[in-house]
């Protein structure tokens, strides 16, 4: 958390708030977030103007007019906030701040300090950032090919949940949406991937596109601390069928939702709708 729908909504909010602003100063109280150190960020970005913001998977790509891109990964708790008055004191979770020439300040909050920012030459993101180099297709009908997905799944013995959490298979799926898409696809999270039929894989492929698209449209999922760049909560938490719903009845069959672990990740599913099927590799 945040996953693709949340990061996309952060991108949209930041685009409205900070594109066109010029950096005047940069500060930090936790330099590990800034890969390469504070001085490198100050040298590269002070005097530069933000021209656009893109997203790839769970990464934000802040573009500057001097040919530099700031790659930001929010990890578990990262979030951005724009304040009009830099004199307003930082709370204890503000660890990086960008002051703009017009007096506004973009603050990066991170309770766990796991987020990272990295500077790269624009256009070389995939050559420099390991996570981007291995990134799979975006979960859209245009980019995410069902036949290619089946071919990949067919080669993997790991539980299907672990496979769709692999960012090289499909971009942006995290724990929440893995559980939800598997419920929609009526697949057990622990089912070995190579035992899925082509029809089951196609059903899962379509569910990934549908669920992530719907979550993005609703502003993401706020089950813990997620807020977008404008301070708004998401709305998809009202549509969750299994995630964080252990010991409640399944919306489809009324069987009690179970929580277990798959690949060391907390996992929610319906034992009736999502049975673990004993079968050989397809």
Q: Which of 3, 77, 125, 180 is catalytic?
A: 3
pTM of the model: 0.93
Q: Is 107 annotated in the active site? A: no
User: 119 and 174 share a domain?
Assistant: no
User: 115 and 159 share a domain?
Assistant: no
User: 11 and 121 share a domain?
Assistant: yes
Q: Is 105 annotated in the active site? A: no
The string of pLDDT tens digits covering residues 89-115 is 898 999 999 999 999 999 999 999 999
Query: What domain range includes position 24?
Result: 4-132
User: 82 and 173 share a domain?
Assistant: no
Q: Which of 2, 5, 159, 192 is catalytic?
A: 2
The string of pLDDT tens digits covering residues 133-155 is 999 999 999 999 999 999 999 99
Q: Is 116 annotated in the active site? A: no
Examine residue 66 and state whether it is found in any structural domain, yes or no: yes
Q: Is 246 annotated in the active site? A: no
Predicted pLDDT at 87: 81
Q: Which of 11, 55, 58, 116 is catalytic?
A: 58
Q: What is the DSSP string of the chain?
A: ---HHHHHHHHHHHHHHHTTPBEEEEEES-GGGBTT-HHHHHHHHTT-BEEEEEEETTEEEEEETTSEEEEEE-TTT-EEEEES-TTSPPPTTEEEEEEETTS-EEEEE-SS---EEEEEETT-HHHH-HHHHT----SSTTT--HHHHHHHHHT--SBHHHHHH-TTTSTT--HHHHHHHHHHTT--TTSBGGG--HHHHHHHHHHHHHHHHHHHHTT---SSS---TTS---SGGGG-SSTT-TTSB-TTT-PBPEEEEETTEEEEE-TTTSPPP-----
Q: Which of 113, 233, 252, 265 is catalytic?
A: 265
């Amino acid at each position: 958390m945040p996953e693709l729908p949340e990061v996309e909504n952060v991108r949209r909010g930041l685009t409205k708030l900070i594109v066109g602003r010029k950096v005047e100063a940069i500060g930090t109280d936790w330099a590990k977030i800034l890969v390469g150190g504070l001085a490198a960020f100050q040298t590269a970005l002070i005097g530069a103007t933000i021209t656009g913001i893109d997203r790839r998977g769970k990464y934000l790509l802040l573009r500057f007019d001097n040919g530099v891109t700031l790659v930001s990964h929010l990890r578990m708790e990262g979030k951005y906030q724009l304040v009009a008055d830099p004199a307003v004191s930082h709370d204890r979770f503000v660890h990086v701040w960008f002051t703009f020439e017009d007096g506004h300040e973009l603050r990066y909050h991170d309770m766990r300090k796991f987020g990272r920012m990295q500077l790269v030459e624009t256009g070389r993101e995939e050559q420099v950032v390991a996570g981007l180099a291995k990134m799979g297709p975006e979960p859209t009908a245009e980019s995410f090919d069902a036949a290619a997905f089946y071919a990949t799944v067919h080669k993997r013995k790991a539980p299907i949940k672990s496979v769709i959490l692999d960012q090289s298979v499909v971009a942006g799926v995290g724990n929440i949406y893995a559980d939800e898409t598997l419920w929609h696809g009526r697949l057990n999270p622990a089912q070995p991937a190579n035992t899925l039929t082509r029809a089951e894989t196609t059903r899962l492929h379509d569910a990934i596109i549908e669920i992530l698209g719907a979550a993005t449209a609703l502003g993401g999922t706020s089950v813990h601390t997620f807020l977008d760049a404008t301070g708004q909560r998401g709305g998809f938490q009202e549509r969750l069928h299994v995630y964080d719903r252990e010991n409640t009845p399944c919306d489809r069959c009324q069987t009690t939702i179970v929580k277990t672990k798959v690949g060391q990740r907390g996992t929610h599913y319906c034992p009736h709708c999502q049975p673990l099927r004993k079968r050989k590799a397809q």
